[in-house]
Amino acid sequence: MCGIIGYCGHRPAVPVCMEGLKRLEYRGYDSAGVAFVRQGEIAVIKAPGKLSALEEALEHAGNVMNATTALAHTRWATHGAPTTGNAHPHLDAGRSIAMVHNGIIENFAELKQELLAEGLTFESDTDTEVLTKLVGWCRARTGSMREALSMALSRAEGAYAVVLLCKDRPGRLWAARKQSPLVLGLGVGENFLASDVPAFLPYTREVVFIDDGEMVIIDADRHEILDAATLAPREKTPQTITWDVQAAQKGGYKHFMLKEIFEQPKVIRDCLAGRIDHASGAVRLPEIEALPVPGRLVIVACGTSSYAGLWGKQIIEKLARVPVDVCIASEFRYADPILAPGDQVLVVSQSGETADTLAGLRLARERGVPVIGLCNVVGSSVDREADFVLHTQAGPEISVASTKAMCSQMVMLLLLALRYADAKGLLSREDRAACIEGVQAMPKLLDDHLPFMRDTAQRLARTYSEATSFLYLGRGPAWPLALEGALKLKEISYIHAEGYPAGEMKHGPIALIDPKFPTFAIALADELFGKVKSNLIEVQARGGRIIALTNPGLDLEVDHPWVLPQVFWPLAGFTALPALQLFAYEIADYLGKDVDQPRNLAKSVTVE
């Protein structure tokens, strides 16, 4: 859950690495550090806290501009508290090797005991220092960095992406990966290694995505890719990235999260591009054309992606009559799931690197079940490992709290439902036209209404900013949206919130209702409106205040009705979702929270 960058080239390396870290800070931000060779020795500068603390430390570190090779790291703690000592880079016992690492070495305690028995000592609580000193120990016996790294990694169990610097070869970097992302950037007279493409995108668009079990060696004008176990060379074809660094900038918005909420109309347009036949109105998903309609679809995901999956379950089952199970990936991977002939597994991950989701993907493939990947990042692990892949085309999402990624996942799940329904001949011409025309019109509808939604969210945020808890209620497709609304509020405002199916309120949560415990309900014009209304009357009878997302003309008397444009029922989530996101955003911003980088969270959960 960390951000890594390494640079070999002709520029001052430390500023290049610091610039890259700023674009990777979403991956972790409790400490940061940089290493380079200065006057024949490795200089390591690191600091706890955000990158501004490291920048300040660099100002007092003497000459940092001469080195043209460096590596750097921004950390999200997995072993050891966020202190200077635990920050990366770490050094080997001879202080000749520096390493940065993303992942978890699961057997670090056993390795540490072995190294302690060899007389080595340790200065931190991290698994990374253990691996660094193991590499140094191996190098003392092999005399070769590549052989030492290969030997050390053969002993390491778990996930890692590592980049190493050696003072004896100050213009070279070594790297390897297993179950953590690593990408090579190819420039002119310079090369890069990083956790993600934005780290070096201002300098090059030519990239090579490194696969599990591969080692990379770079200097300014060459690169070498090897099998990490055998050291046999591997040939890889570079890819060209088409989006630019401006896509990862705020574009005048106060926060990335707000920018990404307002990007959702464009996201829908991009998701639909080339996926609807304008002559026939049929959905086109050529990526999965070879697959039949599943007997059962098992959706495996975490967090917001799992709520998108729950929403998709409601739509797919209703429109296409395909049974859908939604499994939390961290449970699925250990549950010995029953997967039958005719089943298909759909793994959903914005980053394509979510550790538990990848484990679920690999388990399903081991069982011989076709796996469809639904992800946003081309070249990610899900993209490479799934049997079939649907890309959501949401573009880079920088804010830790996911917004537009869920919108894009919902679009693809809707298209999947329509594709299944068409294949089974279940949709009437009128209903299919209503879905297709409605989703095609959705970008303009949202463009027109998002500014007004934000105005409403700002007013409500000031009214409810003193609340310490919230109950979110919905039924049918609105229930997963209630879960997501509650998640967004607690993620970025730190206000406790719980999402519930409205009908379950009587089975416990109603005991919490009082005038200081508000309810946020989703009460839209669908077949369940009457049921939701009855649930809200029960809230009002106990003095609870209510915000309700609703539609024009509905008979609903609550404290704060929030009227959204009415659309065909499968599309209602696309109007409710940004309202929920904006409410959470405006409360968090009003309370002065760090919206884009909430405490204790990281964007890409690449460790278990």
CA pair distance 475, 503, nearest whole angstrom: 7
Beta strands 97-105 and 90-91, pairing class: antiparallel
Among residues 2, 166, 302, 375, the one annotated as catalytic is 2
* Cβ neighbour number for residue 157 with a 10 Å cutoff: 13
Q: Give the span between the Cα atoms of 188 and 406, in whole angstroms.
A: 37
Joined together, the tokens standing for residue 161 give 């992406």
C-alpha span between 539 and 547 (Å, rounded): 11
H-helix or E-strand containing 434? helix 429-464
Residue 468 token pair: 């310490």
How far apart CA 509 and CA 516 sit, in angstroms, is: 14
Q: Are strands 388-391 and 496-501 parallel, antiparallel or unpaired?
A: unpaired
Residue 120, both tokens: 């080595």
**Strand 173-178 relative to strand 158-166: parallel, antiparallel, unpaired?**
antiparallel
Take residue 604 and report the two structure tokens written for it: 């890409």
What tokens does 561 get? 């009705």
Asked if 424 and 293 touch (Cβ cutoff 8 Å), the reply is yes
What is the residue whose two structure tokens read 């869920």? 406
Q: What is the CA radius of gyration of the chain?
A: 25
CB neighbour class for 364 (10 Å; exposed up to 12, middle 13-18, buried from 19):
buried
Residue 46: Cβ within 10 Å count: 24
603 is known as an active-site residue: yes
Question: Is there a contact between 176 and 149 (Cβ–Cβ < 8 Å)?
Answer: yes
Residues with Cβ < 8 Å from 533, sequence gap 6 or more? 523, 555, 556
Sign of CA dihedral 54, 105, 166, 187: negative
For residue 202, report the phi and psi dihedrals to the nearest 5 degrees. Answer: -65, -15
| Joined tokens for residue 557 | 């008397």
Q: Which of 330, 234, 283 is nearest to 607 (CA)?
A: 330
What Å distances lie between residue 345 and 280, 362, 406, CA to CA? 29, 11, 19
Tokens of 364: 């399903």
Candidates 46, 178, 259, 603; catalytic one: 603
Look at residue 472 and give its three-state secondary structure: strand
Q: Quick one: which H or E segment has residue 326? A: strand 324-328
- Tell me which residue of 405, 401, 433 sits closest to 418, measured CA to CA: 433
Q: Tell the residue number behind the tokens 């009128």, with chain if given.
A: 430
Catalytic residue ranges: 2, 603
